[in-house]
């Protein structure tokens, strides 16, 4: 069956629905809640991983070479 044939059978059914009474329902809530829990877990994991990062900035090579006009800060 082609998609256009399937749509011709579905369109008359859609016309019967009252647009004021259609709601996402329980399934919509469950999907939204699952996405929210997934995002929360990802944020928790990201915070844990970012806390483990040990970053030390490399010293400026121009300050070590004694270039004129450059002073090293301590």
pLDDT tens column, 4-54: 666 566 556 556 667 788 788 899 999 999 999 999 999 999 999 999 988
Give which of 73, 47, 48 is closest to 59, Cα–Cα: 73
DSSP state of 72: -
Q: What is the pLDDT of residue 31?
A: 97
Sequence-distant (≥ 6) Cβ neighbours of residue 64 within 8 angstroms: 72
Q: What is the pLDDT of residue 10?
A: 57
Q: What is the pTM of this model?
A: 0.48
Q: What is the pLDDT of residue 26?
A: 92
- Token pair for 45: 């994991």
Q: What is the CA radius of gyration of the chain?
A: 30
**Residue 68: band (very low, low, confident or very high) from pLDDT cuts 50, 70, 90:** low
Q: For residue 70, how far is the Cα from the chain centroid?
A: 44
């Amino acid at each position: 069956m082609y998609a256009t044939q399937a749509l011709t059978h579905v369109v008359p059914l859609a016309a019967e629905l009252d647009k004021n009474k259609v709601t996402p329902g329980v399934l919509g809530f469950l999907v939204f809640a699952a996405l929210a829990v997934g995002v929360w877990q990802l944020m928790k994991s990201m915070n844990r991983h970012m806390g483990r990062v040990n970053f030390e900035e490399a010293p400026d090579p121009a300050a070590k070479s004694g270039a004129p006009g450059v002073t090293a800060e301590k």
